[in-house]
Structure 1
């Protein structure tokens, strides 16, 4: 089973927005774990994609697999 890590890093003064065509979308940093623990992968992806270096992450939930869309289990972090 493939594991993916997604999360959102934010500072109080930041407003996260993105556009895809005419639609506004929220893009969260994320990616594969590369064989690492999901928490470690979340910290790496947050730094790589946003430049934010977090001291820790909290994992509130795991979603999946969702057979209609993916066989991956998605870890969501705060």
Structure 2
């Protein structure tokens, strides 16, 4: 993820490193620090954090679907 992407994602300019770090931590996005102290992350890390937070999920809850189907079959 580029510095520009990170800035757009967090809402903080590239020179606002501490605010970007806080945003990443608060939102559970895994990152490392570059030698210059700036955070570095990937789109995959962002997507995993958002999926784990329940913000985005492209996979259905198969357990709920199975339970509903089983319940429906039991009642006729």
Structure with the higher fraction of residues in helix conformation: 2
Structure with the higher fraction of residues in strand conformation: 1
Q: Give the TM-score of the pair, scaled to structure 2.
A: 0.27
Q: Using CA pairs below 8 Å that are at least 6 residues apart, which structure has the higher relative contact order?
A: 1
